[in-house]
Structure formats: structure tokens, C-alpha cells
Chains A and B, each alone.
Chain A
Amino acid sequence: MVAQNIVFGVLAVAMGLAAIRVVTTKNVVHAALYLVVVLAGVAALYILLAAEFIAVVQVIIYIGAIVLLILFGTMLTRAPIGRASDLDNDQRWLGVVVALLLLGVMGSVLADAFGSTKLPKAPQIQRTGDVGLSIFQTYVVPFEVVSVLLLAALVGAVVIARRD
């Protein structure tokens, strides 16, 4: 387990530094690339927990789709090379407050649910089939609810983007 702790430490430091750079860098595209580093670190953490399927899905969805669409959007509108001066605005303190609130909510939820649970000594390998079965049997109703929510977002995007 020592090796895993060392790997976790390295990953955590790299992710923390990259996350700070996401908000301090003066270039939109660089910020998106630092975000890719953070998300890749999350995928690596999943691999460390032997949850390979979730790790690969993290790469496909977050790195391969979401950040790519962010980059795509900025490049279609404006993505200047070099430092931009108008990236900061006076709402940063509001942002700090919201971030701290989010941290509090998520932290308390996590501590409430898993506070006293300990990881088993031997790594439990999560098979893709197990993940699929638990989604489509145990959690099928939340899954369908999320699907309908995504469909609503999709329809909303089409309505906004329509010209007439």
C-alpha cells in the first residue's frame, strides 16, 4: 500500500497545482488545458482504486467531450494567443463564497455518508458488468430521471440555437 500512497500524493499535488493554475492563468485555452490535467488526475485516482471502467469513462466524457466542447466554443468565438487582460472581474469574491459553500455541502454529504467507512485492504476490482447491472437494476429510476433531464437540456439548446 506504500506505493499507492506515494502515487496518491504525487497525483494530489499535481492536481492541486493544476487546479490553481486553471483560475490564475491569463489565457482561456491554457485554463482549459490545466482543467484537462485535473480531470486526467481524477481518472488516475479511479485507476488507483481499481475502478477502470469509471476511469475510462472519465477520460471519454470529461476530457474527450466536455473540455473539448469548451475549447471548441472558445475557438469558434475568440481564443487569443497570449495574455488576456479582461479575464478577471469584480465578482471573484462572490465566486470564492460560492466555492466555499459548495465545498461545505459536498464535504458534509461525503462525511455523512462514508465518514466511518474504511477501504478494504485488498483492492476490490470493479467489473464493468457489475457497474452496468447496478445502474440498470438498483438505480434504474435515477438513471431514467437523469436521462430525461439531459433530454430537456438538449431540447432547450436546440430551441435557443434555432434562428427563426
Chain B
Amino acid sequence: MLAAGDPLFADGVDLTVVLIVIAKTVVVFGAMLVSVLLLIWFERKLVADMQARIGPNRAGKFGVLQTLADGIKLFFKEDFLPTQADRRVYRLAPYLATVPAFLSFAIVPIGGTVTIAGHQTRLQLADPPVGILFLLAMSSIAVYGVMLAGWSSGSKYPLLGAVRGSAQMVSYEAALGLSTVAVVLVTGSLLTSDIVAGQSGEGLFGIIPNWNVLRLGFIPFVVFFIAGTAESNRPPFDLVEAEQELVGGFHTEYSALRFALFFLAEFMNTITISAIMVTLFLGGPSGPGPDSGLIGALLPVFWFLLKVFAMLCVFVWLRATLPRFRYDRLMDLGWKKLIPLSLAWLLIQAAFLVDVKWGIVVFTGAAVMGVLLWRAMEVGHGATEHEAPAPPKFQEVR
């Protein structure tokens, strides 16, 4: 097995292995770039449809080449460097945003195992033993891109956007990690290939799939979905950019190719978070079909792409539907709702794994505690309400 479970290549590598790894990297990178181009077009077109507009329709059939045209335009534009900017950090920041967005896709299993030139290899760029923790490490590095871009611009709107955005990303990373722990708990492994393999069997009644989204009782999936949306700064959590309040947010001062890199990173993150969600909760490449032959090798890839496409449609739909969160509500949702919810659910799940009796006991206990806590907060709100200062009245203009 190629490089699986052997981070140091202790058994040695030969030229074929190196060539296979390079080929896989190039193919995945190219596919990511093309899908970002298509996703931007698709998003503009679908949002336009939902808002009864036409959307891009000039470049190519149905305007499908619009993003390519935009990209070429940005490539030839002048790269502007503000005088107040911190030069080196300003130049570094776009790459700190783009590289982790691509790297975290490396752990996603795209299909089953294939044989190339006598070497068995997984349709997956890397399968490190730390598996899903790699995603958390990459998403914590991605924060630096936003933060340093905002600071190094030497301008107040980018700085405000960056401080806001990095606080948001750090807050939601906790919820993201806790909902991932639920998946690791039932799988018993950090490897993404094991997580996918654990979901591949038949579920209840032989019809319902054995996916984690059902096995874990929806709550970790919902938490991961919300946290992932916030982590990739997609609407309705796009407070980093917030055009109406912050001009353009953290990338206000950026232009030309560097701006394009931020755009690329955002859409790559959307694809990556969809693919990770498919891997963790929706069974990855598993689906009905034969196991052997050419169809057996290609069908899992088809199922994987179909599921990712479905998730991407949901993301575009959310963007067209929901208004942006207010900042205090965003922090409320993250710290006071998502994190306690996922912690309590994790405890219940662990108890059910030990024994059904324990599970019921912990579930009842958590429910009672939750109701008591809610009641206490209601009483607290009621007690402070009459003491709070009345809202200011408008004075009559004479």
C-alpha cells in the first residue's frame, strides 16, 4: 500500500511511487482549479436564477467562461501596493490563505483503491495516520491569511474585518473539532479512509445507508455544517467581508492577482468543506453498484462527486437565502449554543457506546440539566429586564 501508515517512507521509495504521487497531486490540483472556475460560474448563475436575474451570459455558452475571463482580467491588472502596507507580510498573506485551502483537500478519499503500474494506490492524495486532525491544523493556519492580510494593509477597514474574521474562525474551530470528535468516537480511528470504510456497509433494513449522519443522530452533522460555513467565511457568516459595513473587509486594499488568490481560497474552502462533510457524514465515495472492473473503480468517484455537488448546491442556496448574521448573535450561536450542544451530545454518545443503560441515564440527565439551565437563564433575563435602561426616546424637533 502506497505510503499508507508509513509517514517516513521507511521501506524506501522508487521512481514509480514518486511519479504516482506527483501525478496524483497535479491531477487533484488541476481538478480543484477547474472546479473553482465552474463553481463561481454556477454560483452566480444559480443565485441569479433565484433572484429572477439573468446572470453571466456573454462569455461562452451560458456564460460558462465568465470566470476564466475574470481571471485573465485580474491577471493582467496592475498589482497595487499601498504605501502604508507592511510589504513582506502583505505579499505573503494571500498564499497563507490559498495553500491550506488546497492542502486540507489532500486527506479526502475520492474513490476506492486502483492499481497503477503494479502499485496499489488509493484515490486519495494522502492518508496520514493523524487523518482528520490535519484538517483542524490547516484550518487554524488559514486564519493567519485573513488576519495578516487585514493587518498588513495598513488601513482601518481591513483591520476591523480581520479582527472580526479571525475571532469568528477561532470561535467556530472549537465547535468544528467537537463535532469531528463524534465521528472519530464511533469510527475508532482518525484515518479518513477508515472513517469512509466504516460507513460503507448496509444500514437498517438494508435500504437506509449506514452513514454517520444517521448513526450519530444528525446533531454533529448540523453543528459541523454551521461551523464549517463559518470557518470558510461563507454567507451568512461572511462578516470578514461585509461589503455594506467594511467596504470589502480584509481584502479591501488587495488588487489583481493577489485579490484573485483570496477569491480562489474562499471557493476552494467551500469545495473542501463540502468534500470533508461528505467524507465524515455522508459516506464518502460509498454507494450502490458493482465492486470490480472499470465500473467498480469509477462508480465510487461518481457517487463522491454527486454528493459534493449536492452539498455545494446547498451552500449556494444558503447564500441566496439568508441575510448576514449580526456579530453578537454570531458569537452567541458559537459559544452559547453550538459548543454546549456538541459537548453534551458527545457525552451522550460516549455513554451509549459503553452501554444502552448508561446512555439512557446520561441522556435523561443531560435533558434535565438542559431544561434547568434554560429556566435559570430565563429567570436571569426576567430579573435584569426591569433594571435595564429604557431605550432612548427620540426628542421632538422644534
Q: Is the CB–CB distance between A63 and B140 below 8 Å?
A: yes
Query: What is the CB-to-nearest-CB distance from A84 to chain B, in angstroms, rounded to a whole number?
Result: 12
Mark contacts of B1-17 with chain A using CB atoms, 8 A cut-off: 1 yes-contact digit, 0 otherwise: 00000011010000000
Q: B71 at interface (Cβ–Cβ under 8 A)?
A: no
Q: Is the CB–CB distance between B137 and A81 below 8 Å?
A: no
Query: What is the CB-to-nearest-CB distance from A102 to chain B, in angstroms, rounded to a whole number?
Result: 27
Q: Is the CB–CB distance between A56 and B166 below 8 Å?
A: no
Chain A positions within 8 Å of B133 at CB level: 53, 56-57, 60
Chain B positions within 8 Å of A52 at CB level: 7, 128-130
Chain B positions within 8 Å of A63 at CB level: 140-141
Q: Is the CB–CB distance between B130 and A128 below 8 Å?
A: yes
Chain A positions within 8 Å of B143 at CB level: 64, 68
Chain A positions within 8 Å of B154 at CB level: 81
Query: What is the CB-to-nearest-CB distance from B92 to chain A, in angstroms, rounded to a whole number?
Result: 9
Q: Is the CB–CB distance between B130 and A53 below 8 Å?
A: yes
Query: In the complex, A60 Cα to B152 Cα: how many Å?
Result: 23
Q: Which residue of B lies closest to A59 (CB)?
A: B137
Q: Is the CB–CB distance between B134 and A123 below 8 Å?
A: no
Query: In the complex, A55 Cα to B128 Cα: how many Å?
Result: 12
Query: In the complex, A79 Cα to B159 Cα: how many Å?
Result: 10
Q: With A50-B8, A53-B133 in contact, is A72–B166 under 8 Å at CB?
A: yes
Q: Is the CB–CB distance between A72 and B141 below 8 Å?
A: no
Chain B positions within 8 Å of A65 at CB level: 140, 170
Number of interface residues of B (CB under 8 A): 32
Q: B162 at interface (Cβ–Cβ under 8 A)?
A: yes
Q: Is the CB–CB distance between A123 and B140 below 8 Å?
A: no
Q: Is the CB–CB distance between A71 and B89 below 8 Å?
A: no
Query: In the complex, A122 Cα to B151 Cα: how many Å?
Result: 46
Q: B136 at interface (Cβ–Cβ under 8 A)?
A: yes
Q: Is the CB–CB distance between B140 and A75 below 8 Å?
A: no
Query: What is the CB-to-nearest-CB distance from B196 to chain A, in angstroms, rounded to a whole number?
Result: 18
A56 CB contact (under 8 Å) in B84, B134, B148, B152: B134
Q: Is the CB–CB distance between A75 and B163 below 8 Å?
A: yes
Query: In the complex, A28 Cα to B91 Cα: how many Å?
Result: 18
Chain B positions within 8 Å of A29 at CB level: 86, 89, 148, 151
Query: In the complex, A33 Cα to B136 Cα: how many Å?
Result: 20
Chain A positions within 8 Å of B84 at CB level: 81
Query: In the complex, A68 Cα to B162 Cα: how many Å?
Result: 12
Q: Which residue of B lies closest to A54 (CB)?
A: B130
Q: Is the CB–CB distance between A56 and B130 below 8 Å?
A: yes
Q: B147 at interface (Cβ–Cβ under 8 A)?
A: yes
Q: A47 at interface (Cβ–Cβ under 8 A)?
A: yes
Query: In the complex, A93 Cα to B229 Cα: how many Å?
Result: 49
Q: B363 at interface (Cβ–Cβ under 8 A)?
A: no
Q: B183 at interface (Cβ–Cβ under 8 A)?
A: no
Q: Is the CB–CB distance between A79 and B151 below 8 Å?
A: yes
Give the interface residue-count category, chain A.
Answer: 20 to 34
Q: Is the CB–CB distance between B152 and A75 below 8 Å?
A: no
Q: A145 at interface (Cβ–Cβ under 8 A)?
A: no
Q: Is the CB–CB distance between A60 and B136 below 8 Å?
A: yes
Mark contacts of B33-60 with chain A using CB atoms, 8 A cut-off: 1 yes-contact digit, 0 otherwise: 0000000000000000000000000000
Name the interface residues of B133-182: CB closer than 8 Å to any CB of A: 133-134, 136-137, 139-141, 143-144, 147-148, 151-152, 154, 159, 162-163, 166-167, 170, 173
Mark contacts of B76-105 with chain A using CB atoms, 8 A cut-off: 1 yes-contact digit, 0 otherwise: 000000001110010000000000000000
Chain B positions within 8 Å of A27 at CB level: 86
Query: In the complex, A64 Cα to B140 Cα: how many Å?
Result: 5
Chain A positions within 8 Å of B8 at CB level: 50, 123, 125
Q: Is the CB–CB distance between A75 and B136 below 8 Å?
A: no
A125 CB contact (under 8 Å) in B7, B137, B151: B7
Q: Which residue of B lies closest to A69 (CB)?
A: B170
Name the interface residues of A104-138: CB closer than 8 Å to any CB of B: 122-123, 125, 127-128
Query: In the complex, A29 Cα to B150 Cα: how many Å?
Result: 12
Query: What is the CB-to-nearest-CB distance from A34 to chain B, in angstroms, rounded to a whole number?
Result: 12
Query: In the complex, A81 Cα to B89 Cα: how many Å?
Result: 10
Q: Which residue of B lies closest to A67 (CB)?
A: B144
A128 CB contact (under 8 Å) in B10, B129, B140: B129
Q: Is the CB–CB distance between A64 and B141 below 8 Å?
A: yes
Interface residues of A (CB under 8 A from B): 27, 29-30, 33, 36, 47, 50, 52-53, 55-57, 59-60, 63-65, 68-69, 71-72, 75-76, 79, 81-82, 122-123, 125, 127-128
Interface residues of B (CB under 8 A from A): 7-8, 10, 84-86, 89, 128-130, 133-134, 136-137, 139-141, 143-144, 147-148, 151-152, 154, 159, 162-163, 166-167, 170, 173, 190
Given contacts A69-B170, A82-B86, 16 further A-B contacts (CB under 8 A): A29-B89, A33-B148, A55-B130, A60-B137, A64-B141, A65-B170, A68-B144, A71-B151, A72-B163, A75-B151, A75-B162, A79-B151, A81-B86, A81-B152, A123-B10, A128-B129
16 contacts between A and B (CB under 8 A): A50-B7, A50-B8, A52-B7, A52-B130, A53-B129, A59-B140, A63-B140, A64-B141, A64-B173, A68-B144, A68-B166, A71-B151, A72-B163, A81-B84, A82-B86, A125-B8
